[in-house]
Structure 1
Amino acid sequence: MALMVTNPTINYSFVKEAKSKFRSWIDDLLITSWKACQDTDVLIESPSSICGIHIAEKLQIPYFRAFTMPWSRTRAYPHAFMVPDQKLGGAYNYMTFVAFEAGYWKGTAQQINRWRVEDLGLPKTNLANMKQANVPFLYNMSPVVFPPPVDFPEWVTVTGYWFLDEGVTYDPPKALTDFIKKAKDDGKKLVYIGFGSIVVSDPAKLTRAICKAVVEADVRCIMNKGWSDRLGTKTGVEVEIPPEVYNAGAVPHDWLFPQLDAAVHHGGSGTTGASLKFGLPTIIKPFFGDQKFYANRVDDMGCGVGLKDLNYKTLAKALKDVTTDARIIAQAKVVGEKIRSENGVQKAIETIYTQMEYAHRLSLSKSIGIQLPEENDVEDSAMENFEDSWLLV
Structure 2
Amino acid sequence: MRVLMVAPGTRGDVVPMAGLGHRLQGVGYEVAIAANPAYAPLVVESGCEFRPLPGDLAELIKHPAPGAKASAGNVFSFWKKLGEYMDNAATGTLAAAEAGADVILANSVAPYAYDVAEAFGIPAIGAHLQPTEPSAAYPPVLMNSARSLGPMGNKIIGERASAGPAPYDGPSARLRRELGLRKESRATGERRRRKTQATVLYGISPSVLPTPGDWHPGLVMAGYWWPAGNPDWQPPADLVDFLADGPPPVFVGFGSSADIDPGFILDATRRAGARAVVQGVEGYLADDAIGVGSVPHEWLFPRMSVVVHHAGAGTTAAGLRAGVPTVGVPVYTDQPLWASRVASLGAGPQPIPYKKLTPDRLGEAIKEASSTPSYAHHAKSVATALSTEDGTAAVLKTLRNI
Matched, 1:143 2:206: yes
For structure 1, which segment, 149-158 or 46-55, has the greater mean C-alpha deviation from structure 2 after superposition? 46-55
- Aligned mate of 1:159, from 205, 213, 222: 222
Check the 8 A contact 2:62/2:257 in 1, yes or no: no
Check the 8 A contact 1:27/1:111 in 2, yes or no: yes
Of structures 1 and 2, the larger Rg is shown by 1
Give the distance between the partners of 1:157 and 1:258, measured in 2 at CA.
Answer: 29
Give the distance between the partners of 2:398 and 2:281, measured in 1 at CA.
Answer: 36
Q: Larger RCO: Structure 1 or Structure 2 (Cα < 8 Å, ≥ 6 residues apart)? A: 1
Check the 8 A contact 1:70/1:78 in 2, yes or no: no
Check the 8 A contact 2:62/2:256 in 1, yes or no: no
- Aligned mate of 1:215, from 270, 273, 280: 270
2:399 aligns to what?
Answer: 352
2:319 aligns to what?
Answer: 275
Taking structure 1 as reference, are residues 41 and 319 closer, same or farther at Cα in structure 2, changes over 3 Å only? same
Question: Any idea what the Cα deviations from partners look like across 1:298-343, whole Å, max 9, x if unmatched?
Answer: 1111101311232221111111111111111100110011011111
What amino acid is aligned across from residue 340 of structure 1 in structure 2?
Answer: S
Identify unmatched segments of 5+ residues in structure 2: 1-57
Check the 8 A contact 1:137/1:155 in 2, yes or no: yes
Check the 8 A contact 2:347/2:378 in 1, yes or no: yes
1:13 Cα offset (Å): 9.6
Give the distance between the partners of 2:131 and 2:145, measured in 1 at CA.
Answer: 14
1:197 aligns to what?
Answer: 256
**Which secondary structure does the structure 2 equivalent of 1:247 belong to?**
strand
Identity of aligned residues (%): 27
2:241 aligns to what?
Answer: 178
2:51 aligns to what?
Answer: none
- Aligned mate of 1:331, from 368, 378, 384: 378
1:266 aligns to what?
Answer: 310
1:340 aligns to what?
Answer: 387
Taking structure 1 as reference, are residues 208 and 129 closer, same or farther at Cα in structure 2, changes over 3 Å only? closer
Identify unmatched segments of 5+ residues in structure 1: 228-239, 357-393
Give the distance between the partners of 2:117 and 2:75, measured in 1 at CA.
Answer: 27
For structure 1, which segment, 148-157 or 208-217, has the greater mean C-alpha deviation from structure 2 after superposition? 208-217
Give the distance between the partners of 1:114 and 1:173, measured in 2 at CA.
Answer: 47
For structure 1, which segment, 69-78 or 83-92, has the greater mean C-alpha deviation from structure 2 after superposition? 83-92
**Which secondary structure does the structure 2 equivalent of 1:75 belong to?**
coil
Check the 8 A contact 2:311/2:328 in 1, yes or no: yes
- State TM-score, norm by structure 1: 0.76
What amino acid is aligned across from residue 82 of structure 1 in structure 2?
Answer: M
1:116 aligns to what?
Answer: 176
- State TM-score, norm by structure 2: 0.75
Mapping for residues 1-393 of structure 1, pairs under 5 Å: 2-3=60-61, 5=63, 17=77, 19-38=79-98, 39-84=100-145, 86-104=147-165, 108-117=168-177, 119-126=178-185, 127-129=187-189, 131-133=192-194, 134-166=197-229, 168-183=231-246, 188-200=247-259, 203-204=260-261, 207-225=262-280, 241-305=285-349, 306-308=351-353, 309-354=356-401, 356=402
Taking structure 1 as reference, are residues 179 and 108 closer, same or farther at Cα in structure 2, changes over 3 Å only? closer
Give the distance between the partners of 1:150 and 1:337, measured in 2 at CA.
Answer: 24
Check the 8 A contact 2:62/2:258 in 1, yes or no: no
Taking structure 1 as reference, are residues 255 and 121 closer, same or farther at Cα in structure 2, changes over 3 Å only? same
Taking structure 1 as reference, are residues 333 and 349 closer, same or farther at Cα in structure 2, changes over 3 Å only? same
1:3 Cα offset (Å): 4.9
Give the distance between the partners of 2:132 and 2:230, measured in 1 at CA.
Answer: 31
**Which secondary structure does the structure 2 equivalent of 1:168 belong to?**
coil
Give the distance between the partners of 2:138 and 2:75, measured in 1 at CA.
Answer: 23
Question: Any idea what the Cα deviations from partners look like across 1:157-194, whole Å, max 9, x if unmatched?
Answer: 111111124363221222211111111xxxx3422111
What amino acid is aligned across from residue 114 of structure 2 in structure 1?
Answer: I
1:208 Cα offset (Å): 1.9
1:129 Cα offset (Å): 4.9
Check the 8 A contact 2:61/2:256 in 1, yes or no: no
Give the distance between the partners of 2:74 and 2:171, measured in 1 at CA.
Answer: 18
Give the distance between the partners of 1:96 and 1:168, measured in 2 at CA.
Answer: 46
2:43 aligns to what?
Answer: none
Taking structure 1 as reference, are residues 268 and 32 closer, same or farther at Cα in structure 2, changes over 3 Å only? same
**Which secondary structure does the structure 2 equivalent of 1:280 belong to?**
coil
Check the 8 A contact 1:65/1:136 in 2, yes or no: yes
1:50 Cα offset (Å): 2.4
Q: Relative to total residues, which structure has the larger helix share, 1 or 2?
A: 1
